[in-house]
Amino acid sequence: MESDTETFLREKAIEMERRDISRTYIGLPSDGISILGYVTVSIKCLRVPDDNCLSNKALEKMNIDGATGIAQSYLIGQLSRSKDSPRGFGSVLMEVALRQLTVSKSAVGCRLVRLDCYEELIPYYGGHGFRPITRNDDGTLNQMMRLI
């Protein structure tokens, strides 16, 4: 049976690359046969609600448009590692994503990185410097942010 990872890589990631919507970075072992994991980065604006969980200092650094409540942001859209990947490989993927986004920041600006995650992943992403903002519109995911 095909995994969600394989389905995403074959059906979505390639098309998103072709359309210049995102970039997916794939971690391969030295044998090059399997996939250890991947991370996808993109650009997606973030609407910051008035009832967010952030400090005034963080909100100020996000460059939120006062009229719309929208902040320009990078997005870590997917981060997945295989069960066969070495311990800590998710952190390696996160470092790859943040390094690429830091290069983008130097080239075009924007200091905000966002992601959406399930409740059980908040501590994991919190360990990588992300802070909760609010729940997404349908309430199924938590929106988190980090400044770079």
- Tell me, what CATH number does 124's domain have? 3.40.630.30
Total structural domains in the chain?
A: 1
Per-residue model confidence as pLDDT tens digits over 39-62: 999 999 999 988 888 889 999 999
Domain with 121, as residue range(s), is 4-147
Phi, psi of 137, rounded to the nearest 5 degrees? -60, -40
How many degrees, rounded to 5, is the angle at CA 131 between CA 87 and CA 70? Answer: 130
For residues 73 and 46, is the Cβ–Cβ distance under 8 A? yes
- Alpha helix (H) ranges present in 29-88? 56-61
Going across the sheet that includes 131-135, the strands are 22-27, 37-43, 74-81, 112-117, 142-147, 131-135
Per-residue model confidence as pLDDT tens digits over 123-144: 999 999 999 999 888 889 999 9
Average pLDDT over residues 113-122: 96
